[in-house]
């Protein structure tokens, strides 16, 4: 099948006007893949905005002839696009929001390469070094708002949700927007777009012109969750672990909508952090919510969490069904507690430095067949460490479902094997089966072929 493509030359608007010769050289060097490959693939995903596709491999194959080059010119730089998706253009001109996202990708790819990976002052083998890296990437992207009270709500949920569930996410976003709250998501479609769309209307009615709609992504997932057009601040973290830490550090509270394995991964990441004894007193409002039709979904999630992490974990979250206004009110009240606590201990409003994030949640997990097979999935360990390993299992399934390298690994070596205690594996198998039955693994209408096998 042929897809409409466009050639264009794009100039930045007020940001990233200059690059060094070394930086340009790295981006032009296609011999070893590396930086150019990351930049090309992320750029293609951004340009594919609005064309719903959750298969990184298919996106790259659909636009095999796409190319992007940094062109130094007399007064700065321009980007030369070849065979870019035509849907990113209106009357042969690149849509402004997509142009901003394109240069955000360039900014973050360059910054991570030059100022993080090659920085002797940032030790990525140490927990503090990873947190510092996350902070510097976010600060460089100018998304931190230091003179603002806590009001940034992270919204998690699936890109593959029903229309009814999507409308519910918009209503929750609208109610939070009416109360002056900002929205941060993984920046893709579905439950990542709905809350932002609703909040824009709430902000407009309250004449709030400075609303923040923050999208946080990473190179491996951006093809499945290309930034939606409402995102006005985009930042690309180098891997999923730093992306998840960024959510926890900049967000003041979290709302979880129905989703699939990616949403389960996010829930386990946050609960694993909150379960750490060092974080016991830190307020961090976490609300799970959906329409009445999602009640069974959250019942299954709640039961899985309790069965694996213990009954007492319920103190860290609440489940609210079919009541958007109550979600917004309780989140607003929870953020007041966050402000009071941070003010009392002298912690920043814009970055949660006090939150302890164990190295097990920061260490990059590469979902190879060997690594997936060797996960420690048993209850004979601290609860926050079990949460970390369960998070890795879900992360591997996400990779096998939507990431280019994960899909290719499954095609070459067969299904991932997930092994562990029999009881734990039975509960995991049941939860994953429910995701498949509810069509939460792929975009609506697409058949799902499992990328994993549970070994009990």
Give the phi and the psi of residue 156 in degrees, each rounded to 5. Answer: -110, 155
pLDDT at 132 (0 to 100): 95
Q: Which of the 8 DSSP states describes residue 113? A: I
Two structure tokens written together for 215: 């999208």
pLDDT at 16 (0 to 100): 54
Contacts of 166 (CB under 8 A, 6+ apart): 190, 191, 193, 194
pLDDT at 77 (0 to 100): 76
pLDDT at 23 over 80: no
On the 0-12 / 13-18 / 19+ scale of CB atoms within 10 A, 208 is middle
Q: Each residue of 214-236: pLDDT tens digit? A: 999 998 888 667 888 899 999 99
Q: Which of the 8 DSSP states describes residue 223? A: T
Contacts of 236 (CB under 8 A, 6+ apart): 42, 104, 105, 108, 109, 217, 218, 219, 222
Write down the domain spans for the chain: 5-118, 134-345, 360-455
Q: How confident is the model at residue 443 (pLDDT cuts 50, 70, 90)?
A: low
Give the phi and the psi of residue 126 in degrees, each rounded to 5. Answer: -115, 145
Nearest one of 141, 360, 151 to 233, comparing CA atoms: 141
Two structure tokens written together for 136: 């510097």
Q: Which of 186-190, 224-228, 422-426 has the lowest average pLDDT?
A: 224-228
pLDDT at 171 over 60: yes
134-345 belongs to CATH 3.90.1150.10: no
> 5-118: what fold?
MCP/YpsA-like (3.30.1850)
Q: Each residue of 269-283: pLDDT tens digit? A: 999 999 999 998 999
pLDDT at 26 (0 to 100): 64
């Amino acid at each position: 099948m042929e897809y409409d493509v466009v050639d264009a030359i794009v100039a930045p608007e007020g940001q990233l006007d200059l690059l060094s010769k070394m930086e340009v050289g790295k981006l032009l060097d296609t011999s070893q893949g590396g930086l150019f490959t990351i930049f090309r693939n992320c750029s293609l995903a951004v340009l594919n905005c609005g064309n719903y596709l959750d298969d990184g491999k298919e996106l790259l194959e659909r636009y095999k002839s796409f190319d992007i080059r940094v062109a130094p010119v007399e007064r700065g730089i321009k980007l030369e696009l070849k065979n870019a998706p035509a849907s990113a253009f209106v009357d042969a001109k690149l849509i402004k929001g997509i142009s901003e996202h394109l240069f955000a990708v360039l900014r973050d790819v360059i910054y991570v390469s030059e100022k993080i990976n090659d920085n002797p002052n940032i030790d990525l083998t140490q927990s503090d070094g990873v947190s510092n890296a996350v902070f510097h990437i976010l600060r460089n992207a100018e998304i931190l708002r230091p003179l603002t009270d806590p009001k940034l709500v992270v919204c998690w949920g699936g890109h593959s949700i029903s229309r009814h569930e999507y409308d519910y996410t918009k209503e929750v976003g609208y109610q939070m927007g009416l109360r002056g709250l900002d929205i941060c998501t993984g920046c893709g479609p579905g439950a990542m777009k709905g809350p932002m769309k609703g909040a824009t209307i709430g902000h407009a009615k309250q004449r709030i012109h400075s609303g923040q709609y923050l999208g946080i992504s990473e190179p491996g997932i951006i093809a499945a969750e290309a930034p939606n057009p409402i995102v006005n601040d985009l930042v690309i973290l180098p891997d999923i672990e730093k992306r998840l830490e960024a959510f926890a550090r900049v967000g003041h509270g979290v709302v979880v909508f129905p989703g699939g394995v990616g949403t389960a991964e996010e829930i386990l990441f946050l609960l694993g952090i909150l379960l750490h004894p060092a974080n016991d007193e830190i307020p961090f409002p976490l609300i799970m919510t959906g329409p009445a039709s999602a009640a069974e979904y959250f019942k299954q999630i709640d039961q899985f969490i309790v069965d694996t992490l213990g009954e007492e974990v319920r103190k860290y979250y609440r489940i609210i069904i079919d009541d958007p206004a109550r979600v917004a009110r309780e989140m607003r009240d929870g953020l007041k507690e966050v402000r009071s606590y941070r003010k009392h201990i002298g912690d920043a409003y814009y970055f949660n430095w006090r939150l302890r994030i164990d190295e097990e949640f920061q260490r990059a997990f590469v979902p190879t067949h060997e690594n997936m097979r060797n996960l420690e999935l048993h209850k004979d360990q601290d609860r926050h460490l079990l949460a970390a390993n369960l998070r890795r299992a879900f992360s591997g399934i996400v990779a096998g479902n939507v990431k280019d390298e994960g899909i290719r690994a499954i095609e070459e070596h067969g299904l991932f094997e997930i092994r562990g205690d029999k009881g734990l594996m039975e509960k995991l198998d049941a939860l994953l089966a429910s995701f498949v039955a509810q069509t939460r693994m792929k975009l609506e209408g697409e058949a799902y072929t499992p990328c994993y096998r549970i070994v009990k």
